[in-house]
Amino acid sequence: MLQMAGAIAAEMLEAIFANFFIFFIYILIILYIKAQYQKYFELQIAVYGKPERSITEVAEHIILSGLIAGFAASFLTVAAGVTIEIDALKYLLYIMCLLMIIDLRLVCISYAAGILAAISIIFGRPQINIPSLLCLVAILQLTESFLMRINKKSGYVPVFIKHKDEIAGAFLIRRFWMVPIVFFTYLLQASIISLDFVEGLPMFFGTPSIQGGAMALGMDCFIAVLCHTDITITKHPEKKSIETSRMRFGYSIVLLMIAFASIDIRWMEYIGVAFCLLGHEGIYFYSRYSERTGAPIYSAVRRGLRIMDVLPGSHAQQMGLERGDIIMSINKNDIQTDEGVREALRDFPCYTWIRVLGWDGKERTVEYRCYPAGYNSLGIISVPREKEVTYKTEYFERISILQNIVNRFRGVDKMI
């Protein structure tokens, strides 16, 4: 076990720091993610007054969490004997670059691997180890499901949208991870990293080399970009992340079982390739359908003031106010607007009692003391009855480099 861990760590470090091509790809991906986060930061500044985290902190989180997740995932790929041809990696990279131009949400190993495997089945080239490729996708999706669950409390920003002819609050979710994944491959010469531990592994997916002259077993590393983009209208963002995480977990487990079955049953490869593409796309369309047809949780109310978000470190957070709660009154003053909140707190009261209708339908009274200075702001973002600037859900659901170029050429702005 320790020898395998050492070999995985050595391959990851060599790929990132000694392989100039991988290092270049690593930097390129970071720059691309930075560009994608720019619009996200602009929304955060508009809502909170500043970004949740700086771009440096975001980059550190993406890299460090990706390294840890990649190291854990590599244990599974190496233990299972996942073997991917070097040419297959190049094709995966080409396909992902093409998908990146078409739509950001398609930048996913499931789509790239599914397309590559489908081409291999239909045209007979390139010849790839499809069971290994399916297993690799399943393990990466399993890793992403855990990353979604762990990071459920971050990576989103509130926006206002038009939903069923009314203004509603929504949360835009956008998360990226750069996950280096280690697996077996066939080389023209023996690997410099010791592979003595291989004798104790089952090597379920190991197959004879299909590349002429490549007879030496070695290890290689691939940088996978895991991208979670979503928008939630009918659920709290944490609950939405957990729900999506569960669906991705189920998807990865089913795909993993199909991958193992396809080792001995050839026709299971066809099912695996179809499920690899359609299963992932099905999760996306189910999520979009449920959000569009469901009742918005952050809609404006006729009586009271709905809380869209609670700012970190604010008085509202210390009181225990939550997203979706409705403020009915402050010190017996009925509240209908943000101006009403400011008026109720104009004299910097040191003691307040706030009547709240919780997002769960239960009414409660919150008492809050702030001695000796008092306070004049709750620190909340509310859902207004009218809003000058709203967005179409499609503005967030489809982010296309190609479409952006066309829109700039035409002078079209999709914001409304």
- Domain end residue (candidates: 228, 259, 293): 293
User: Does some domain include residue 375?
Assistant: yes
256 and 340 share one domain: no
148 versus 373: the higher-pLDDT residue is 148
Residue 144: closest CA among 60, 92, 70, 59: 70
For residues 39 and 179, state if they share a domain: yes
Q: How far apart are CA 232 and CA 324, in angstroms?
A: 13
Residue 390 has pLDDT above 50, yes or no: yes
The pLDDT value given to residue 415 = 37
- 349 and 221 inside one domain: no
Determine the average pLDDT of the residues in 70-83: 88
Q: In the chain, helix, strand, coil percent, each to 5?
A: 50, 20, 30
Instruction: Find the CATH number of the domain harbouring 312.
Output: 2.30.42.10
Same structural domain for residues 226 and 204?
yes
How is residue 143 written in tokens? 């890793």
Q: Is the pLDDT of residue 409 over 60?
A: no
Specify the pTM. 0.84
pLDDT at 402 over 60: no
184 lies in some domain: yes
Q: Is 395 inside any structural domain?
A: no
Residue 242 confidence (pLDDT): 94
* Domains contained in the chain, number: 2
Q: What is the pLDDT of residue 40?
A: 67
Give the residue numbers spanning the domain of 334: 305-382
Residue 206 has pLDDT above 70, yes or no: no
173 and 313 co-located in one domain = no
Sign of CA dihedral 136, 138, 140, 142: negative
The Cα–Cα gap between 333 and 156 comes to: 33
pLDDT score for 58: 79
pLDDT at 332 over 70: yes
Across the range 285-299, mean pLDDT stands at 88
Residues 276 and 338 in one domain: no
pLDDT averaged over every residue in the chain: 81
For residue 259, name the pLDDT band (cuts at 50, 70, 90).
very high
* Most confident among 106-110, 148-152, 233-237, 249-253 (mean pLDDT): 249-253
Q: Is the pLDDT confidence value at 193 over 80?
A: no
Task: State residue 408's pLDDT score.
Answer: 47
Shared domain for 72 and 92, answered yes or no, is: yes
Average pLDDT over residues 297-309: 87
Binned at pLDDT 50, 70 and 90, residue 300 comes out as confident
Residues 159 and 89 in one domain: yes
Residue 153 has pLDDT above 60, yes or no: yes
H/E stretch holding 75 reads: helix 55-80
Note whether residue 402 is domain-resident: no
Segment 53-73 shows an average pLDDT of 84
Q: What is the mean pLDDT of residues 161-190?
A: 80
Query: How far apart (Å, rounded) are the C-alpha atoms in residues 93 and 86?
Result: 11
Does the structure show a pLDDT above 70 at 243?
yes
Minimum mean pLDDT range among 23-27, 287-291, 296-300: 23-27
Confidence bin at 413 (pLDDT 50/70/90): very low
Classify residue 416: in a domain, yes or no: no
Average pLDDT over residues 39-43: 69
Q: Do 256 and 183 share a structural domain?
A: yes
Tell which residue, 362, 26, 388, has the closest CA to residue 224.
Answer: 26
In a domain, 393, yes or no: no
Going by pLDDT thresholds of 50, 70 and 90, the confidence category of residue 376 is confident
Is residue 214 scored above 70 in pLDDT? Answer: no
Grouping H, G, I as helix, E, B as strand and the rest as coil, residue 412 is: coil
- 192 and 243 assigned to the same domain: yes
268 and 321: one domain? Answer: no
Which residues are CB-contacts of 400 (< 8 A; sequence separation ≥ 6)?
A: 101, 102, 103, 104
Q: How confident is the model at residue 210 (pLDDT cuts 50, 70, 90)?
A: very low
Residue 81 in domain: yes
> What is the structure's pLDDT at 78?
86
Can you give the pLDDT at residue 401? 47
